[in-house]
Structure formats: C-alpha cells, structure tokens
Amino acid sequence: MEHSPQSVQPSTLAGISRLAKAIRKQDQITHLAALEIAAQRAGYQNYQHARHALNRDQAPLPSQLVHSIYLSAYWRDTSTKPRQSGLETIRIDLPRPLAEFLKRHQIHRARNLEGYFLASEDHLEMRSNLHSQEAARDFLHRAARSLQFIEATGLRPATNRLQRKPMDQLDDLPNVDHGSRWISPAGDWLFLDEPYSPSLTERAAWLANRGLHGAWPNWNGLHNPGQTHPHLTAANQTLLNQVISIVQALPSVIEGDWQQWPWISDGYSSQFISPARKASGNKRKPRAGTTYGWSKNAYQYHTIEGHGSVWKPDQSMTLGNHVALSDELKRLCQSKLPITAYNKILEVRSELENWLFTEATRAGHDATDAEHDVYYGGESPAGYKTDMDRLAAMDRVRATLTTSYPDCKPLRYLLKSLATARALTQQSATR
C-alpha cells in the first residue's frame, strides 16, 4: 500500500522536516509551505511555533538538530594609544548546517554578509579589518541575525540580473532605504527595506497601484536592529504572509544584549580554527596580505590585510610610453565598445596609472602634476570610428606593454584583460 504523508504524526523537528519533504514532493509546493502544513499536522500553529515548543521542551536539543556556525572579524583601532587590535569570534547554533541554506556564491550578496568569505564549512570570516572591537562585534551580531533570517525563512539573496529585475521597480518605493532582495525556493521574490522613518499612507497607495503587497512586521530587521522599521514587499501574498509569520516568531540568536554575548576574543596575529576545519585536517593558509611573497620579474607594491598583495612588473616604462598608452586608452574609452570590453579597458587604464605612480615612488620622488594627469587628466580625445581602428589600437597597446615590461604574472593579467576586450570587440564587429 502506498505510504501517505497524511498518516505521519511527527513529534520532533526532524520528523516535521521529513514530513515536509514528502508533502513538498507530493503536492508540488514550496518548502516553506510544506513546513507550515507539516507543523500543523503535528499539532502546532505553524512551523515557528513548532520550533519554539520543541526547542523548549527538548533542551538540550538532539545534536542532529543543532549546528554550530562561527563568525569572526579582525579589528584594528588606531584612535587609541597604544593602538589596539584583535580578532573577535561568535558561535551561533541553528537547526541546519550552513551549506544547507547558503551557498558560497550567495554569501556576498546577502544583507550583512557582503564582506565575508567561507573560511570552512562552519565558519564565515570578514575579509577586511574593522576599526574597533565594538565595531567588529556589531558587524558579527548583524551577520548572525542575517544567517538566522536566511535559515528560518528559506529565502536566498538574489544573485543575478534575472532574479533582481522584478524588484527594480521598488527603487522608486516611497521612502525606500537599505533595501535587500530575496528569492524563495519556488523562485518568487521578496523585497526587504528598512527605513528609519516609515511612510505608511504613501507607501500603501504606491503598492496598491502596482498590485503588490506590503507589510510592516513586528520584527527588528537586519540593517540596524531596533533603529529602523523593516518593511516586506512581495507580489506573492502567500509568501509574504509566511515570511511575516516566521520573522515575527524568531527568537534572539543568542539570549541577552549582543554586547554581552559570549565573545571569543583573540590576538590580531591569530587565526580562528573552527571544529570543521580541525576535523578536516586541512591547515589554514596565512591570512591574505600578512605574508610577503615572490613572483618572477614582479614587484609587490601594495598590500591590504585580508585581501592580499598587488604586484607590478619590476621594471619601469618610460613616461613617453605611458603618455602614448594613455592616449590610446582614452580614445578607446570614447569609442563604441561592448560594455564588458569597455570595463576591461577601464581596468587596464586604472592599473597602468597605479604602475606609473609606483614607478615614480621607486625613482625616489612623488608623482608630478604632469604624471597625475597622464591617464585621467586633460581633454578627452575623440573615439575611434571603426571597429578596425579600435582593434588596431588595442594591438598597439599590447605591443607597447610587451616591449616595455618583462614577462611576469601582473603583466600577463593585464594582457588577459586587454585580450578579452579585443575578443568582445571583434565578436561585436562580426554580428
């Protein structure tokens, strides 16, 4: 006899989750909707009610229902004497492991997670330094709230143009501020914005005129919790109602004020090793930008802790060649190019200016006014009229670069950008 999901009466969160999967498959509905139905069949008002009740009644939670996620950030306070610095880390516990509700490519698109990267499967680390210990803790607190929001709602940050496009109209939403764009597992969109002062009447009329639905949930939000007024907008009323129900029932990520959370404080030169990293046996690489490397025929001219080092060829190009290249690149920027090709030319132009200034410094002097004007000063020349002229100009740029600098990794990178611009321009010309 065929098994029916309706016959199951789960008594644990794991059981509710299993039932939801069966319901979703059978009824072809969203995971969020299936969780709601499964929780109601188990005797709860909704899924969040089930989470709270079972979390309370089954403390400590079974290990399979709790997954620790670690968030860390470096800080350096230059306003104090002596200067202070350190590394702050916080652990949060959520019902699912990080990989189940947030993919690597989605991290930097999510509200409050823009500056983080995946250090290990259970650890997110902020790449840049923050300016104080309090700032580091505040950023980690906000990131923790965002992870809780993503895990509980099942929403994902919009990561491509197709997903974002339906929400472009909300750039004109009255009093819109601090917006973030989200996508449900079914592909429906939800827009969250968090103004400091709500605009109730005007906003409601604006949404009604466009057939959209909006609400001000009783929830502190993500951007600046307790200071802003979160507003949810969606075209799908059912999705909106589900998310409202979930966020209004969210408990504190960690009990108590975030300033008093059980922070793990360590020295600035240390690295946090998460349990998953330790179990894997894979040693962490040194933090980017904290070690000095070597590259043949290249010179490390700039380092940013957390991001890495920037290199250029270890020889200098004559000022005359810089001027000649700047003229070619300025004219290309005034030409009709495919947008991606144009952006690649901008990359080459910007990096060559950096190399020019570095070459002046290595020669023992600051860049002169004339050198400052080489790549971005003066009148903009007329662009090239034909595709043949544009392609020839790119070839001249390449020839000047390869005869002025030795073969090295930074030069090859620059030539790759130039080659991409040329290929796109040639492709456009043959259409």
What is the pLDDT tens value at each position of the chain, 431 positions in all? 334 444 446 777 777 887 888 787 777 776 777 787 888 887 776 776 777 677 655 444 444 468 999 999 999 999 999 999 999 999 999 999 999 999 999 999 999 999 999 999 999 999 999 999 999 999 999 999 999 999 999 999 999 999 999 999 999 999 999 999 999 999 999 999 999 987 778 999 999 999 999 999 999 999 999 899 999 999 999 999 999 999 999 999 998 888 889 999 999 999 999 999 999 999 999 898 888 788 999 989 888 888 888 999 999 999 999 999 999 999 999 999 999 999 999 999 999 999 999 999 999 999 999 999 999 998 889 999 999 999 999 999 999 999 999 999 999 999 999 999 999 999 988 87
Is residue 275 situated within a structural domain? no
For residues 162 and 311, state if they share a domain: no
Q: Side chain identity at 231, as an amino acid letter?
A: H
* Confidence at residue 357, expressed as pLDDT on a 0 to 100 scale: 96
Query: Is the same domain home to 138 and 180?
Result: no
**In a shared domain, residues 47 and 95:** no
Query: Is residue 287 situated within a structural domain?
Result: no
For residues 181 and 166, give the distance between their C-alpha atoms in angstroms, rounded to a whole number.
10
- Do both 337 and 381 map to the same domain? yes
Nearest to 134 by CA among 223, 261, 271: 261
Residues 113 and 169 in one domain: no
- Indicate if 134 and 216 belong to the same structural domain: no
In a domain, 374, yes or no: yes
Contact in structure between 202 and 175 (CB atoms under 8 Å): yes
Check whether residue 390 and residue 335 sit in a common domain.
yes
- 197 in a structural domain: yes
Kindly state whether residue 399 falls inside one of the protein's structural domains.
yes
In-domain check, residue 335: yes
Q: Which of 19, 36, 60 is the last residue before a domain boundary? A: 60
- The CATH number of whichever domain residue 414 belongs to comes to 1.20.1260.40
343/419 same-domain check: yes
Does 237 share its domain with 196? Answer: yes
Do 259 and 139 lie in one domain? The reply is yes
At position 5, the amino acid (one-letter code) is P
Task: Tell me which H or E stretch contains 215.
Answer: strand 213-215
Phi, psi at residue 118, to the nearest 5°?
A: -80, 105
Mark whether 80 and 208 lie in a shared domain: no
Q: Can you give the pLDDT at residue 198?
A: 79
Domain range for 36: 5-60
Question: Which pLDDT score is estimated for 52?
Answer: 67
In a domain, 292, yes or no: no
The CA distances from residue 346 to 22, 325, 330, 393, in Å, are 52, 12, 9, 14
Task: Work out how many domains the chain is built from and give that number.
Answer: 4
Domain membership flag for residue 17:
yes
